[in-house]
Chain A
Amino acid sequence: MDAESIRTLAVVGAIALGTIFPAISIGWIGSTALKAIGRNPEAASKVQTMAILAIAFAEAIAIYALVVSLIVKFVA
């Protein structure tokens, strides 16, 4: 196993493992937001703002994994 193939494996592994939990958490946030809106349609815009904020936070973790894999691929 030479360095180049280990690097490729590292790049793919970083992004593959790093997006599992953010995906689960974004789905969870979305489903809870839908339940909240269904229960109380008047608060829809507040719930929507909060949900978009929370989804962006969760997605940032996946972006960290992406940045690590990009750094491994292009810099180190």
Chain B
Amino acid sequence: MEEISLKAQELFHIGGFYITNAILLTLVACFVLIVFSVVIRSKVKIIPGKLQGAVEMGLESLLGLMESVLGSYEKSVKYLPLVATIFIFILTSNLLGIFPGVGSLTFYNGSEHVPLFRSPASDLNFTLAFAVISVIVTNIIGMAYVGVFKHLGKYINFKNPIAFFIGILEIISEIAKIISLTFRLFGNVFAGEVLLTIIFFLAPYFIPLPFLFLEIFVGLIQAFIFAMITLVSISLHTAEHEH
């Protein structure tokens, strides 16, 4: 029975920095996305072919969803890169994580045999980095939209004691958002990895099919949820007050 490890296993090290199997698959996902976007960019035509049509359709539906949440077209075009990157990158890494060969090809790293590739979001560092980036950038977006002091005035408010406590609660809520984003994605993907490892160990032929479908579905939903939470938090921070 394969070892199930909470931490991503180290493969080799460059200087003092360890390259783990999750980092390796993250680099593969980056490579896949960069190659895909360069190929699409070089073949852009006025009358789109099938692939360009599919990409345009996906982007338009994402823009439509953002517009329905944010309320204006200019805002959704402006904040599309952040939300779309979060969605596409997490989706690609989740789908690559159930690819054949991930988790089964092993590598001898000097002391034990570890899997060569591992789903990136099953490493807490990946999800924590995304959560921290999401919360910090949405706050910076809020500051850029309504002004630095007005945005900070939501958190530190000395008008009366109740507003002061509400400000403290807002700070705690942002930190809780980081923690919840991290653990939602990590828990879903890591639990899926553990489930697939056990199922493939118990019944390797045909029985894993519904579990693989579940994993595809969960990967899609979690990427969507992460992007939606970022989007909703952008819309809350850039809300103009009604007079």
Contact = CB atoms under 8 A, between A and B. Distances in A.
B187 A56 contact: no
Contacts of B188: 59, 63
B6 A74 contact: yes
A52 B217 CA distance: 13
Interface string B155-190: 000000000000000000000000010011011101
Interface range on chain B: under 10, 10 to 19, 20 to 34, or 35 or more? 20 to 34
Given A70-B6, A74-B6, A75-B6, A53 B228 contact: yes
B221 interface: yes
A74 B5 contact: yes
A67 interface: yes
Interface in A52-76: 52-53, 56, 59-60, 63-64, 66-67, 70-71, 74-75
B145 to A, nearest CB: 23
A5 interface: no
A59 B65 CA distance: 23
Contacts of A63: 183-184, 187-188, 191
A49 interface: yes
B225 A53 contact: yes
A39 interface: no
Given A52-B221, A63-B188, 14 more contacts: A46-B68, A49-B65, A53-B232, A56-B221, A60-B183, A64-B183, A66-B187, A66-B191, A67-B186, A67-B187, A70-B194, A71-B6, A74-B6, A75-B6
Interface of B: 4-6, 65, 68, 180, 183-184, 186-188, 190-191, 194, 221-222, 224-225, 228-229, 232
26 contacts: A49-B65, A49-B228, A52-B221, A52-B224, A53-B228, A53-B232, A56-B184, A56-B221, A56-B222, A56-B225, A59-B188, A60-B183, A60-B184, A63-B187, A63-B188, A63-B191, A64-B183, A64-B187, A66-B191, A67-B183, A67-B186, A70-B6, A70-B191, A74-B4, A74-B6, A75-B6
